[in-house]
Amino acid sequence: VAGLPQSMAMPAPALSFEFFPPRTEALEQQLWACIRRLEPLAPRFVSVTYGAGGTTQERTHATVARLVKETSLTPAAHLTCVGASRDEVDEVARRYWDAGVRHIVALRGDAPTGEETYTPHPEGYAYAADLVAGLKRIGDFEISVAAYPETHPTATSAQHDIDNLKRKIDAGATRAITQYFFDTEVFLRFLDRALAAGITVPIVPGILPVSNFKQVKKFSAMCGTNVPDWMGTLFDGLEDDAETRKMVAAAVAAEQVRLLQANGVDEFHLYTLNRADLSYAIAHILGARPRKG
Ligand code: FAD
């Protein structure tokens, strides 16, 4: 792993930002303030998540449709196949196509809460690779898929998981976006393994700025992301000090992205959590500057 760069002479990276569809009017306003702040950075695309089991279908669609109509941004709609028939999923995809949306982040989704193992819908797309193939039959979508540097929690092995990623690419996906991670070395080794498996499309690191350490620790345990001890030490004692936590979060994320950049990574996907401040700072540190006009 190369060290932190001494100068920022590197070209500005390609960025994408991820949002989630708002549940209330107040959250809607927060999201749109975030979008307007980040828009001048001219990201390659912005994506909008799909609630567990498709629970935000309408809200995701509404947010994506508004992005098409009211902004200069290129939206990507997340779409999962869990708990739905192929016809239902195809219908959602067709609506996107008709609304002018040409980029889908194709995912399987998680088993519903309370169910220990994932069971495909009897008439559904069983896995994300099947969904990718199905979407390609509907329209020539640009398709991104999920990748797991620390292996998907239910995968039978790391190799099986890489083989699965390869199947998604072979089915028509042209980009993988990773689960968030904190260990740069783990990500770089994952790139090596993906390349060895014949995966040559961009694998874009998903960067999560950590402003609420306690929450991230809990969530990471569920999604299989290792939270290094040094992070616990950095956030220790800041439970009731949101302001300092945010500064520490910015420092942690800045170091992570600069280290990745120094190791040749030139594309980043930022999990904004619908807040612009940390994402804007990270993008700025990476070299992004607002477009004039
Ligand atoms: P898949 O690629 O289908 O893989 C899931 C698991 O099944 C893996 O362990 C894989 O190895 C295994 N597998 C694949 N094929 C087979 C097979 N034929 N037989 C047996 N096992 C197999 N979730 C949401 O609900 N909404 C979102 O908007 C959302 N966005 C996300 C964005 C990103 C960038 C990431 C990384 C994740 C996102 N998720 C989202 C979470 C995702 O839905 C879960 O991680 C889910 O458990 C796996 O989805 P996948 O698309 O990776 O599934």
User: Which atom of ligand 1 approaches the CA of 206 most closely?
Assistant: 34
Instruction: Supply the pLDDT for residue 221.
Output: 94
| Ligand 1, atom 19, residue with closest C-alpha | 127
- Helix, strand, coil in percent for the chain, rounding step 5: 45, 15, 40
Query: 68 CA distance to ligand 1 centroid (A)?
Result: 26
Query: 108 CA distance to ligand 1 centroid (A)?
Result: 5
| Ligand 1, atom 1, residue with closest C-alpha | 128
| Ligand 1, atom 53, residue with closest C-alpha | 108
| Cα distance between residue 38 and residue 79, in whole Å | 23
Does 110 sit in the ligand 1 pocket, CB within 6 Å?
A: yes
Burial of 151 (0-12, 13-18, 19+ CB in 10 A): middle
Does 108 sit in the ligand 1 pocket, CB within 6 Å?
A: yes
Instruction: Supply the pLDDT for residue 8.
Output: 55
Q: How far is CA 292 from CA 16, 41, 42, 139, 191, in A?
A: 19, 10, 10, 34, 35
Query: 97 CA distance to ligand 1 centroid (A)?
Result: 23
| Cα distance between residue 164 and residue 202, in whole Å | 16
Instruction: Supply the pLDDT for residue 120.
Output: 95
Does 206 sit in the ligand 1 pocket, CB within 6 Å?
A: yes
Task: Provide the ipTM.
Answer: 0.99
Does 23 sit in the ligand 1 pocket, CB within 6 Å?
A: no
Which tokens is 39 given? 């828009």
How far, in whole angstroms, is CA 8 from its chain's centroid?
25
Query: 278 CA distance to ligand 1 centroid (A)?
Result: 27
Instruction: Supply the pLDDT for residue 116.
Output: 83
Give the angle subtended at the CA of 77 by the CAs of 65 and 113, to the nearest 5°.
120
Catalytic, 18? Answer yes
Instruction: Supply the pLDDT for residue 7.
Output: 53
Does 128 sit in the ligand 1 pocket, CB within 6 Å?
A: yes
| Residue to mutate (ligand 1; options 108, 167, 203; most atoms within 8 A of CB) | 108
pLDDT, one tens digit for every residue, the chain (293 residues): 777 765 556 678 999 999 999 999 999 999 999 999 999 999 999 999 999 888 899 999 999 999 999 999 999 999 999 999 999 999 999 999 999 999 999 999 999 988 889 999 999 999 999 999 999 999 999 999 999 999 999 999 999 999 999 999 999 999 999 999 999 999 999 999 999 999 999 999 999 999 899 999 999 999 999 999 999 999 999 999 999 999 999 999 999 999 999 999 999 999 999 999 999 999 999 999 998 86
Cβ(152)–Cβ(121) under 8 Å? no
Which of 18, 28, 116, 239 is catalytic? The answer is 18
User: Which atom of ligand 1 approaches the CA of 152 most closely?
Assistant: 9
